[in-house]
Each structure stands twice: as structure tokens, then as C-alpha cells.
Structure 1
Amino acid sequence: MPRKSLVSVVADALLDRIVSGDLDVGAPLPSEAEIGEAYDVSRVTVREALRVLTTQGIVRVTSGIGSVVTPLEDWQSLAAILRYRSARGNDGEVATQLIAVRRMFEAEAAALAAPRLNGAALDELASCVERMRGASGAGDVDAFVEADLRFHDLILRGSGNVFLAALFEPLTRVLAERRAQTSRVPEIQRHAIDEHAAVLAALREGDAVRARAAMEHHMQQTLQDLHTYVLAESD
């Protein structure tokens, strides 16, 4: 894994302070000199780190004050929002909201992809399902998640709507981490394999209505499994 740049290290460290509540909404960040001293970096590095957070909407520059933390609704980084909500909110609510977002994106993507997918794409989708089966039997969670994510990526890209894949891409990185957690549950793996097979069957028929319904059912099963096998254990 490549080493993170100093700019990323400082930006992440400041975000950690914001997420932990050490720096709250409206609170001014330390001066550039103080940040540089705390992390033993140059002012140029500090400025670049602050620029990263500003670009993501996490901080803003206020005249006479300097950089201050903005309200969460102004943030533009999905990963940062998830870190904040997971640390300072109800993780079950966060997971439920993510599934709701997936439902909106992926059900429509399946409907759009159904009449468009060619034989090669359908064969690759079938390969993903088989890889999920094999990985489940071998207890290989990483391979299971990889095949799962590839299945959904193929459908998004097969929808013919370039905006769907582009908008969903940041969410994919977040979902990869969460899938690695939930996919450790054997029951969830079995349900996921069955649901993916049902979506594939609908796509093979080229039926947009059935494909949308199959993906909707998959998202509902995912939500049910979340509450049954993950959130129930944490209560």
C-alpha cells in the first residue's frame, strides 16, 4: 500500500479532531504555525492540507478568524460524512441510510441495464455469482466482497448512464469496507448469492420491470439482514 503524503496525513489528523468533537462546528482551527508545529510539517504542507478540507467543504476561511469547521450539511466528502456520522451518530441509522441510497441508484441501474447488457456482460455477471459461491465455500471474505462489488459495478456501467456510475463511485469505496464486515456472516453470504442470482436471471430476460423488482428485493433483503444479523448483535 502506498504511503500517504504529508498533506493527507495532516488533513486526516485534523478531520479526526473534528470527528472526535475536539474541534466542533464553528470552532476555529489552530493557526498554521500551531498545526505545523503539532505535526512537524512546513506551512506549505499545512496550507495544502487546509485546502483539501476546504475543497471538501469541511472547513471554510472566515475573515478575521481563519479556518473554521462548517456544519455537516455543507460537507461534500462522502467518506468524511460517514466517518463523522459513524463516530458521533447512530451507526445503524448510517447503514440504513446507505442502503436507501443504494436502492435509489441500483434499482434504476438494473432497469436501464436489462435491455442493454450483451452476452459477454451477462457471462461476467454469472462469473461473479460463481466466484461469490466459491469464495463463500472457501471462507474467503475478501474474494466474496470483490466479486459482489464487481457484480454491481457491471450493472451500473451497463446501464448506459455515465452519471450513475460516476455518482456511485465514491459510495463504492465506503461500501467495500462495510461489505467486508457484514459479509463475514454466513447467512448474509447465502442470501446475497441467492439475491444476485435472481437479479442475473431478470437481466438475462432483458426485462426492465423484473430487473428493477429483483434489485429492489435484493436491497430489502440486505436491509433485513443488517437488522437481523448485525445490528441485533450490537444492541
Structure 2
Amino acid sequence: MARKSLVVEVADELLDRIVAGEFAPGSLVPGELELSARYDVSRMTVREAVKTLTAQNILRVERGRGTYVNPVNRWSSLHAVLRATNEGTDGATSAVQLIELRRMLETGACGLAAERISDEDLAALDAFVGTMRSTHDEGDLERFVEADLAFHDVILHASENAFVAVLLEPLSRVLAQHRSETSAVPEIQEHAIEMHEAIAKALRSRDPETARAAMDAHMQQTLDDLRTYVLKG
């Protein structure tokens, strides 16, 4: 059991260094001797730690050449990808990719929700838009973000597809952080309120295509605002 915890500790520290950019994608990581000396563990422990990261496609071992870091889009560990997204050095790429993922999932979910959403859920959407409007006027960023996230959560669950909400749930912390960063811009808040009103209206029509189009327009506006106000280009 103690040996297992050492393996996990070394694997986590290696991942920390990768996420921090010390070992960029495509770069060679130190060999077993250097790593065992750095972490004061046996070569066997290092070997098992590397195997752990290799199994998650974070590292790849090339015989006769060494061990290299894979690009994040090849990683198979959601936990590791979330760390790279939340703590990594390439925040711009991560922010854009997060919107791309939301666009794929939430546009379809909105189309499903149009045919399945209840009157109670529609009333909840209106209430959250109202909260977004009032907190925008009051300058209450935290409550604005909470209402924004809650609005989308209602739609995901109204789709009645269990997989959609489960797929996005692990991203909740990252989504909240990104929303706080972007929603700090007043113009972005104004656009968000307008788009959320349009989505609620589209869902009220019970037409899947109209609902999908409204959500897709929101995702495009979010991407445009990110590039204009946050990434500056």
C-alpha cells in the first residue's frame, strides 16, 4: 500500500510539471535515474509512475529514445485534462475548446429540451434571466454567474438525457471559473442576458430547430465576446 501511494505521488508531481509547462508537448522527460534521485524513490517506483501516466496517454514511451509528453488532445484522463484546462499555461486555447465542447453538447440538449421541457422549467428559466438582469444592474458578479449556470443546468436536465448532464458535471468548476472571468465584462453580461432571453423564448415555442438555433447563436456570441473582450483578438 505504501509503495502504491509513492507511485501516485510521483505521477502527480510529474503531471504538475507537465501542466505547468515545464515539460511541453513533444518534449522528453528525464530518465528513471534522474527522477528517482529528484523524488528520492526507487527506479521501480518511477517506472510505475511513468506507466500510470502512459496508460492515460499523457506520456508515450518510444523504445530506444525515451519518454515523451503527448499533446493534451490525446490524453484519456478527464481529471488530467481538467487540471491542464484549469491550471495550464495555454488558457486561451482551453477557453476556446471549452466553448466548442459546450456548443456540441448544449445545442443538441436544447433541441431535445424544446419538446420535453415543463412549464415549471420554463418559469425557472424566466426567473434566472430576471436574476441575471437585476444582478447586472447591481454589479453582483457572483450571483450573475450562479444564475447563468443555473439557467443552462435547467436546460440540460430538461433534455431528459442522463448522459448530457453527467458529461458536463465534472466541468462545473472550470465552467464557473471561466464564467467569472468573462462575465466580469459588462458588455458580455448584456449580450448574455439578450441571448438567454432568446433561448427561453425559443424553448417556449417547443420547436427543436428554433431552440437549437438560439443556443448555437449564444455559443457563437460567447466565442466572439471571448475573443473580443478577453483574448483581445
Question: 2:20·2:89 contact (CA, 8 Å) conserved in 1?
Answer: yes
- Residue of structure 1 equivalent to 2:89: 87
- Residue of structure 2 equivalent to 1:160: 160
For residues 4-83 of structure 1, the aligned pairs below 5 Å read: 13-24=13-24, 25=26, 27-28=28-29, 33-34=36-37, 36-37=39-40, 53=53, 56-59=56-59, 69-76=69-76, 77=78, 78-82=81-85
Question: 1:27·1:68 contact (CA, 8 Å) conserved in 2?
Answer: yes
Percent identical among aligned pairs is: 49
Q: Which runs of 5+ in 1 are unaligned?
A: none
Q: Which runs of 5+ in 2 are unaligned?
A: none
Question: 2:56·2:75 contact (CA, 8 Å) conserved in 1?
Answer: yes
- Residue of structure 1 equivalent to 2:104: 104
CA shift at 1:172, angstroms?
A: 3.2
Q: Distance in 2 between matches of 1:230 and 1:21?
A: 22
Question: 2:19·2:84 contact (CA, 8 Å) conserved in 1?
Answer: no
Answer with 113-122 or 19-28: which moved more.
Answer: 19-28
The question of 1:114 aligning with 2:114 is answered yes
Question: 1:19·1:83 contact (CA, 8 Å) conserved in 2?
Answer: no
Q: Distance in 1 between matches of 2:52 and 2:144?
A: 34
Aligned residues: 223
Answer with 118-127 or 20-29: which moved more.
Answer: 20-29
Q: Distance in 1 between matches of 2:201 and 2:215?
A: 11
Question: 2:183·2:189 contact (CA, 8 Å) conserved in 1?
Answer: yes
Q: Distance in 2 between matches of 1:66 and 1:93?
A: 28
Question: 1:26·1:71 contact (CA, 8 Å) conserved in 2?
Answer: no
For residues 137-216 of structure 1, the aligned pairs below 5 Å read: 137-216=137-216
Secondary structure in structure 2 of the residue aligned to 1:114: helix
Question: 1:75·1:81 contact (CA, 8 Å) conserved in 2?
Answer: no
Secondary structure in structure 2 of the residue aligned to 1:115: helix
CA shift at 1:47, angstroms?
A: 9.6
CA shift at 1:223, angstroms?
A: 1.7
Residue 48 and residue 176 in structure 1: after superposition, are their counterparts in 2 closer, same or farther (change >3 A)?
Answer: farther
Question: When the two structures are superposed, what TM-score results if normalisation uses the length of structure 2?
Answer: 0.76
Q: Distance in 1 between matches of 2:49 and 2:141?
A: 35
Deviations 1:18-60 (A, max 9, x none): 13443354634565754544xxx9x9x9999778755643246
**Aligned Cα root-mean-square deviation (Å):** 3.5
Deviations 1:188-229 (A, max 9, x none): 111101111110111122121111111111112112212222
- Residue of structure 2 equivalent to 1:223: 223
Residue 144 and residue 35 in structure 1: after superposition, are their counterparts in 2 closer, same or farther (change >3 A)?
Answer: farther
Secondary structure in structure 2 of the residue aligned to 1:206: coil
Q: Distance in 1 between matches of 2:184 and 2:56?
A: 32
Q: Distance in 2 between matches of 1:10 and 1:125?
A: 46
